[in-house]
Amino acid sequence: MYEFDIHSPTDLKGALELKATFGAGLHPLAGGTDVLVSLRNNRVDWGEKPTLLNLNSIDELHFVKETPETIEIGPLLTHTEISTHSLVKTHVPALAKAVLYIGSPQIRNRGSVIGNMCHASPAADSLPILYCRDAKIEVQTANQTTLTPIEEFITGPGIIAIDPKGIVTKIIVPKLANYVGDYLTLRQRQALSCNVVSVGVEMLKPDDIIEDIRISLGAVAPTVVRGRRTESLIKNKSITEDLIEEARDLIQTECVPIDDVRSNKNYRQAMTGVLLARFLHRFI
């Protein structure tokens, strides 16, 4: 049986004031789907009676907004809402697809995309497309607002670079006009299973030549990683069988997987190439 102290402010100003007072000892809570799991498995050290900051009464944190260049996602948007939201489906469709792999319908109806990001699992399904998009993370404290690229915000498994008095207030996702994106994943079963290896891709191919491509790999390193050498190989070329074979081999060198209960490093490494090749073959 766990006991908690829970603070439930009704506006962002009140939440930031509480964070300024308690600092790292106050743990923001949106969906809360991972709290008990983390405590039971000793993934967090929150003391005998954790103090939680319940954000769910702050209406101003529940939003998806469009600007001329970006889509902005608030901390209270659930996976289900992301998967069905017209702005996300129009401008970041691969993210709308990716979040459907997360957990069960109950988890998706409760868990938030920003919570999934802040958990900072390298196997998180929401992250590869955000890496492809060079998303930025807005963090507010009582005194300032900062923007951090996602590759700098997530620094290791379960580790994020955030001011102890700060709260993540939005993810800013750049639009990529005319890009084709997808999220490909392998898991031990289709539903209710953790990602074994994943590949996120965003590609601009207005004609025969690939003008740009962004490739991110999940569950094959301490964080999600970009396959930048493979991106450079593919850019400004036409897709051929020879290019796909070369890209398949190169992407396997851009990750450092581990052996664990779900898979082994050799399989994970090989499957990054297989998944990337599956995507590229669609465009021959």
**For 19-33, what is each residue's pLDDT tens digit?**
999 999 999 999 988
Give the model's confidence band at 222: pLDDT under 50 very low, under 70 low, under 90 confident, else very high: very high
**Mean pLDDT in residue range 97-115:** 94
CB atoms within 10 A of CB 207: 7
- Which pLDDT score is estimated for 78? 97
Please give the mean pLDDT across all residues of the chain. Answer: 94
- Which pLDDT score is estimated for 1? 63
Which domains does the chain show, CATH number per domain? 5-54 (3.30.43), 60-174 (3.30.465.10), 179-281 (3.30.390.50)
Q: Which two tokens stand for residue 74?
A: 């608030």
- pLDDT tens-digit series, residues 37-70: 888 877 778 888 889 999 999 999 999 999 999 9
Residue 238 φ/ψ, nearest 5 degrees: -90, 150
Please tell me the distance from the alpha carbon of residue 114 to that of residue 171, in angstroms, as a whole number.
7
Does residue 225 have a pLDDT over 90?
yes
* Stated pTM of the model: 0.94
What is the DSSP secondary-structure string of 57-124?
T-GGGS-EEE-SSEEEE-TT-BHHHHHH-HHHHHH-HHHHHHGGGSS-HHHHHH-BHHHHHHHT-TT-
